[in-house]
Amino acid sequence: MVDLFGKKKLEERIEELEAEQARLEGEKEDLLRTLDKRDERIRKLSAAIQEANLALKAAEQRASARASPASSEASRGESQVEQKPKASRLSLRDMDSLLERLQAVRSPREDLLTACYPGASPEGGLLPEPLAKAVSAINSQRGGIILHCPQLFSLLLIPPFPIKESHSHEGAEFSLDPIREMMEEPVLVISAHAGDTFLGVCLSRDKFEAEELVQSSVMGKHSKGGWSQKRFERLREEDVKAHVDLATEKLDAMLGRYKPLLHYAVLSGEEALLRQIASFVDLPLVDRKLSRIDSRETNLLLDEIYGFVCYRMDI
């Protein structure tokens, strides 16, 4: 039959227009979803930054009740009017919370800076000048990790173990893997005190893989003078030597099993004892001030061994 009125062509044209309408509606929905996602990302970024600031402030408040780690004195040519940033000691739980929030931070300008440096101060050009000056005032011998979000915040993390080399990353997000890796370093722990020395091996932050509390009888210090004091000191030196011999015997057995896995030896305690015991340790040494604890509380040391010190930099 002849289509006198062009009905078929009209129907085909209607189908084309309906298809075009459906396509345009689809594009419209896609654009609306894209705008919604952008708005959602902006909301999440703002919330993440706010949470990170709140978490850090809470950690600083908890740390204010503890003794802040001693920071080195300002160099002689430096102005004494300038005060160093306040230090907060972050436990493993604090670090997990902080990293979770930092991981959520994003910058469309790709200007989030993560920088690691060894030694007391960063090398020239690694950091913006105001930030480099503020960081150098801390003078940490283990180096530091900078997390800088322009116009919002700058954090300096003093790591539990030394930074080996300088490197930096600038992008849409922070590079946090070096921090996480440092919290998994396998280490030997020696906390040496006359009469009781703790030896431990941590293959990660989770627990002590091996531990030994070496105890022996060591005389206390003598307060009187004369021949009596000299005799007492000689007997005490013999007790200390016997304690060191016992500790190094246990240490030798521990190293025989775990030394190939270990990266550092963390040392704390009485300097004279440490000098004698450390001579048996063929590992890079890290001096720390750890709490003196008994065998029932050894896991409490993990926070001190793997925790970081945080400075909020005002620049």
Domain boundaries, the chain: 14-63+84-183, 187-300
Region 55-67 average pLDDT? 66
Burial tier of 256 (Cβ tally within 10 Å: 0-12, 13-18, 19+):
exposed
Determine the pLDDT at residue 262. Answer: 97
Rounded to whole angstroms, the maximal C-alpha distance in the chain is: 135
Determine the pLDDT at residue 221. Answer: 55
- The more confidently predicted of residues 37 and 294 is 37
Determine the pLDDT at residue 171. Answer: 96
One-letter amino acid identity for 114?
A: T
Determine the pLDDT at residue 195. Answer: 81
- The more confidently predicted of residues 136 and 153 is 153
Average pLDDT score over the chain:
83
Handedness of CA 124, 126, 128, 131 (dihedral sign): negative
- Please determine, for residue 48, whether its predicted confidence score (pLDDT) is greater than 80: no
- Please determine, for residue 71, whether its predicted confidence score (pLDDT) is greater than 50: no
In what helix (H) or strand (E) does residue 152 lie, and over which residues does it extend?
none
- Please determine, for residue 111, whether its predicted confidence score (pLDDT) is greater than 60: yes
Determine the pLDDT at residue 135. Answer: 87
- Please determine, for residue 229, whether its predicted confidence score (pLDDT) is greater than 70: no
CB atoms within 10 A of CB 265: 21
Q: What percent of the chain lies above the pLDDT cut of 90?
A: 47
Task: Look at the chain and count its residues.
Answer: 315
Confidence band of 265 (pLDDT split at 50, 70, 90): very high
**CATH of span 14-63+84-183:** 3.30.960
- Please determine, for residue 264, whether its predicted confidence score (pLDDT) is greater than 60: yes
Confidence band of 109 (pLDDT split at 50, 70, 90): very high
Confidence band of 288 (pLDDT split at 50, 70, 90): very high
Region 138-151 average pLDDT? 92
- Judge whether 143 and 119 are in contact, CB under 8 Å: yes
The model carries a pTM of 0.69
Lowest-confidence segment of 47-51, 110-114, 162-166, 217-221 by average pLDDT = 217-221
**CATH of span 187-300:** 3.30.420.60
Determine the pLDDT at residue 145. Answer: 96
pLDDT in tens, 177-221: 999 999 999 999 999 988 889 999 999 999 999 999 998 876 555
Classify each residue of 230-246 as buried b or exposed e, where b means 16 or more C-beta atoms within 10 Å of its C-beta. Answer: eebeeebeeebeebbee
- The more confidently predicted of residues 92 and 295 is 92
